[in-house]
Structure 1
């Protein structure tokens, strides 16, 4: 993949991350995904999974890879669960999310198109 295409894809991944983590997450998912202080009557794991799937769907759509979409879903959920449990800071949470986007592009560069 050409360097320009990688930079373009990285920019799209960052925009998608910003959209998915802020307006598409909203106050409800932000609160409901936290197992430490769940919203009464809402299974925290369903809210966390919904948020993860939004991110994974964006990554899969942009990269053309369902594999990377699934990886993003799982890793995003794990990172956010750590953040909600105060095991990592907000800044580290965001850095890890951006680092994942870099990793997905490295995997595409090394292995080519992924299913």
Structure 2
């Protein structure tokens, strides 16, 4: 993958992250995805659903479902750390965006993307 294509993919993944984290996440999901907060459904269901949205976006934009699965798992772990107050919103978002850099590097070096 050429550098411009990699940069463009990174931009799309970053934009997709903010759409999924702020546009597609309801207030209920944002609250109830944390342990002890599940009212309608258990918190694990909310967290799984939220992380799955992110996984879908990454899988869709990269064309690599396994990267989507990796995003799904890592996103859930990062959000769980935030829910448990291990860190705050700024570090949470930084970790999520760092993952996007990793996905681009993996896609650029290991996975031949078709364009």
TM-score, shorter chain, exceeding 0.5: yes
Work out whether 1:40 is the aligned partner of 2:39: yes
Aligned counterpart, 2:56 = 57
Aligned counterpart, 2:100 = 101
Aligned counterpart, 1:12 = 12
Encode CA deviations 1:19-74: one digit per residue, 9 max, x unaligned: 00001012011011010x41324210000000000000000000000110000000
Task: Supply the RMSD in Å over aligned alpha carbons.
Answer: 1.2
Structure 1, 88-97 or 71-80: larger mean CA deviation: 88-97
Q: Which structure 1 residue ranges, 4+ long, deviate > 3 Å from structure 2?
A: none
Residue segments in structure 1 that go unaligned for 5+ positions in a row: none
Encode CA deviations 1:69-88: one digit per residue, 9 max, x unaligned: 00000000000000010012
Using the size of structure 1 for normalisation, the TM-score is 0.93
Work out whether 1:31 is the aligned partner of 2:48: no
Using the size of structure 2 for normalisation, the TM-score is 0.93
Residue segments in structure 2 that go unaligned for 5+ positions in a row: none
**CA distance in 1 between partners of 2:90 and 2:44 (Å):** 23
Aligned counterpart, 2:22 = 22
**CA distance in 2 between partners of 1:112 and 1:40 (Å):** 41
Aligned counterpart, 2:86 = 87
Q: How many residues align?
A: 113
